Amino acid sequence: MNLIGSISGSPEPSRVTGMLGHKDRVKFAHRISEGVSSFEMAVPREQFDPGLSSDYFFFFAKKGEKMYIGYSGDYMRSYTLSTPYDVSTATYDDVQWNHSSVESSAESATMSPDGRYLYLAGQSEDTILMFTMSTPYDITTAQLGYHPREVNNVHTIGSITDSYRTGFRFGDSGNKFYITGSSSERLEQFSLSTAYDITSYTHDGYLLLSTYGIGDTKNVIWNNNGTKFFIVDDQGNHVNEFSVSNAWDVTSGTITELNELDIGTQESTPEDIAFNSDGTKMFIAGSAGDDINVYDLSTGFDTSTASFDTNYNVGATSVRSLEFSSDGTKLMVMDSGSDYIYYYTLSTAFDLSTLSTATIIDMGPSEYPTVSHSNALRSPFIGNIRSTRYNGDGSAIIVMDTDTSYDKLFEFKLLSPFDTSKIVMGYVSAVSQGSNYPADIEFSPDGTRVFILDGSDDKVYAWDLDYPFILSPNLMTFNSVSALLNHEGETALRGFALAPNGTGFYACGDGRNSVYFYDFLNNYVPFQTAFRDKGATDVTQYGLGETIPREVQVYFTDSGEFKLFIYGSGGGIIRCFNLLV
């Protein structure tokens, strides 16, 4: 028979009791000096040896049909289980993911229930990174963030290398896009096989703008039907207006310069341009005044009829771009000095006097994971943002970053159309709350709360999420931090698992080589960080060969079993035990 313990309700030694367990087996408890042991310890039910070195973590997905093991801080492997949650039936999928380019010291990982999102915790970035898998449960399809698209080395695409890309714009309902650069003074044109998909580009050709006396090209915009385009020239402080004989095409046909509008009186360093829907208002953003200047046009999209109206200070310190939503009720302004996006709503379309208070989104490297642009996981590291644009339906923004080491175009998804405050950045700003060693991560079952076990201070940090399983500093609110989890001197907690029924959580540590259980207070309200220490079990006292427990997982199976798994780098074996409920 197996010896088990019973929960005593306090850290006092458990009493000897008997009870009827699952599968009609009689079980007897035994006295444990440390308090409680609520799982069978004599013999594990199942176990699995993956044969890996430097084992760090594992977790299940797809209701126990998939298992993932992380090792050496750099790699994760995928396994399939013929019997859910029975680790003895695990078969290696011959699938290995190298994530060292974004996290080279991974401590833990988990996955959303639908297999769409993967989360990685580690010491390299001191945060939780979120990945999207284009094929659910397939870790080889993981991309950092929320469905990002990216084009690297923007300065090299097109007809010539331009070391100073300054802006870009979409045209022809997203079937074209254009890039400007002030080193080459070329307007580069690209066709997109999929509208607004920046990765589907083909280079069409270019227009040499210096031919028209333009000496510092900053940005471009088109009228509604593609028969005119406008260039912002910082050298002359002009807006240059052109017509084309072939709509949306600067590479063929006849191109005629129609007008050169002097805007230097209002802005000596113009950066970007926008129009309202019918072209009767023009907006110029500049970094000298750090404001937006508004012009009235008596004839739409005809700059020869423009007259200055007024200007608005938008609170930015180095304005580089502005972009309205298609209906003019939303506006985002890019500040490259701080790498902030200022997001506003307008109660009257295109009327800047009706701007709301700004919502500020920090996109700078001090907040965003500082990982190299060259990795295959499409890391959106930000160094110097120049332009931000909406896609056609406002479900994403595309950002141009022209830092010399990380220059690229990349996409961020928005969870509400044209609402930049709902941008998904794909990480937790944990350090700002005092957590700098994320040892483990857990979600509440509904995905509305995320927990981080910190391995440096042995505390649990909790955040409430605006959207289930979506990680982004602007879409989550810090909830609380627990008291010190230092049962009898444990100072090296590494694993953390919520009880599936929401009554408490388990933790394991290699300071005392034990597994601990804590129940939640407040009448057992699920997923509060207030808790009560219910005792510990030393995993070495049963001859298991595991002296460095690093991961504990707890699952309630469809067959009605409550299972606890222990994994560590001492024995390197995943062992399963029954939990009593």
Write out pLDDT tens, residues 515-557: 888 877 654 344 455 555 565 565 555 445 556 778 889 888 8
* DSSP per-residue codes, 371-392: --TTSTT-----S-EEEEEE-T
Task: Check residue 355 and report its DSSP letter.
Answer: B
| CA separation for the pair 142, 554 (Å, rounded) | 25
Half-sphere exposure of 154 (CA within 13 A, CB side): 31
* Residue-level pLDDT at 149: 83
Q: Which CATH class is domain 43-143+436-466+479-559+570-578?
A: mainly beta
* Residue-level pLDDT at 488: 65
Residue with tokens 């709902």: 422
* Residue-level pLDDT at 373: 36
> How many beta carbons lie within 10 A of that of residue 173, not counting itself?
11
The pair of structure tokens assigned to 18 is 């008997």
Tens-digit pLDDT profile for residues 288-331: 999 999 999 999 999 999 999 999 999 888 999 999 999 999 99
The pair phi, psi for residue 6, each rounded to 5°, is -125, 150
CATH number of the domain located at residue range(s) 150-422 in this protein: 2.130.10.10
* Residue-level pLDDT at 435: 83
Per the DSSP assignment, residues forming a β-bridge with 222 are: 229
**Three-class SS state of 318:** coil
| CA separation for the pair 519, 527 (Å, rounded) | 10
The pair of structure tokens assigned to 159 is 């007809």
How would you list the strands of the sheet with 186-192, edge to edge?
Answer: 165-171, 176-181, 186-192, 201-208
Answer whether 80's CB lies under 8 Å from 89's CB.
Answer: no
The domain spans of the chain are 43-143+436-466+479-559+570-578, 150-422
* Residue-level pLDDT at 503: 74
* Residue-level pLDDT at 20: 31
How would you list the strands of the sheet with 66-71, edge to edge?
Answer: 55-61, 66-71, 75-81, 90-98
Residue with tokens 């160094």: 383
- What residues of the chain score a pLDDT lower than 50? 1-42, 370-380, 523-527, 542-543
* Residue-level pLDDT at 188: 97
